[in-house]
Every structure is written in C-alpha cells, then in structure tokens.
Structure 1
Amino acid sequence: MADNLTGTAENLTLDWVLGVGTPTRPTTPLQVALVTANGSDTAAGTEVTGGSYARQDLAVAAAVSGATSNSADLVWTGMPAATVVGVEVWDSAGTPVRLWYGPLNDPRTVAAGDELRLVAGSLGLSMA
C-alpha cells in the first residue's frame, strides 16, 4: 500500500520527523481490517462483518528502503460470504484510529466459513 497513509497518519509522521509538538504514537498492536468497499484518505471503507471475522494483529519487519511488509501470515477463519477488495490498518486504541488503507491487487471472494490468508510478505507498506 504505497502512499496510502491517511491524513491523520501523515500529520503524525510529519510532526514526529520535524519535531513539532509531541505526537502520540498509535496504540499497538496495529490491526488489519478487511473491507468490501475501499475507503479514501478521509473516509473508512466498508469493513467485513459477520461470521467469526475479527481484525488481525499486524507484525512487521524493520523498514528497508522506505518499505516493510507483514512478517507473519494474517489469517481470518470462519469468514462470512463476502468479496474482499481491500485492507485497512488501524491502531488498537479504545476509539481506533485508521492509519493506512488500500486495495488488494486481486479481490478475493470467500464463502461462509472459508478462511482468508495474506501470507507473510504480501502486505507491503511504504511511504513512497
């Protein structure tokens, strides 16, 4: 998800790098949400609901050349019937903050009870 930081995440990053104020680091663990309609910079997508669906914790490797990716498989079991078109990354605060968003290269249609898996390294995150 290149250059798909939300405006909130862009502001936090700029404030931190430039030493402006005291930006608060997002609450961890960061979590990956699946969406059936993609969001935008200012609006969240339509998150999957039903079945055993729940956001999954995101583990990443240290960034290299301005990019990183998930360091472990992300697995959703007991999915509801849905066509997943994108993902979003949220913090895990009491009122979660959306930080990243983007479409999947290939939408995935799952039947009720299916598993959806994003293998390690397949969810790329960059700021360029």
Structure 2
Amino acid sequence: MDTERARPVLLGQAAYYLGTGLLPFVSRRAFEAVTGPKREWWLVQTVGAVVTVVGGTVASAAARRRVTPEVLGLAAGSAASLAAIDVVYVARGRIAPSYLLDAAAQAGILVALARASRPHAESSDGA
C-alpha cells in the first residue's frame, strides 16, 4: 500500500473518530439529540473513549508518517466493526436510524482505504 495515499484518509478518519468519540463527554444533550436517549450512559462513554483512542492512534501514525500494516488494520477493522454494529442494531430496532449515517461514514472510510491500497496506475501514453 502506498502509505502516502492513505495518509489523508487516515487523517480524515481520525478527525471523525475524535469528534464523535469526544462528543458524549462534551455534551450529553447534543449526543442524544442526534442518537436518541440512552439508558446506559456508561456504555456510551466507554465506546466514546475507545473510539477516541483509535482516532488518536491513527492520527499520530498518519501525522508521523508511520503508517504500518497494523495501523491500517486498526483503521479498517474499526470502520468495518462500527458499520456492522450500526446496521445490525438499527435493523433490530435497538438503536436509532440516525446510526445509519455513521454506517455510511464508516463505509466511506473503507472505500477510501481500499482505493488508497490499490497500486498507483502509471500513465501508459507517456504523459
């Protein structure tokens, strides 16, 4: 993988994760306005903390140009896991449909990472 091509994707993912991960700690009211009321606030904060740590780790690796296969695995695995949880639990009626917006964002991250991992096409016409 061309890690330089992955860096902007990883930085975008990190920014998204930092924002969404920290939101429950900044404003419960704002978080619940988007996602609906929560009974288990400790669980929201636990997930927020983990997402924040992933975002910080991905940001640090991308900023320092230290994008390893392990960092890419963390980034892609987190996006895939969060998207799957969003879709499954919206379908089961356990979480608000607004979580499908997050699933779409996670899918976008996965598509962008996949595109960045493709070999760079060289121009064959000499241009």
TM range (shorter): under 0.3
**Bigger share in strand:** 1
**Bigger share in helix:** 2
TM-score by length of 2: 0.26
Give the number of the structure whose alpha-carbon radius of gyration is greater: 2
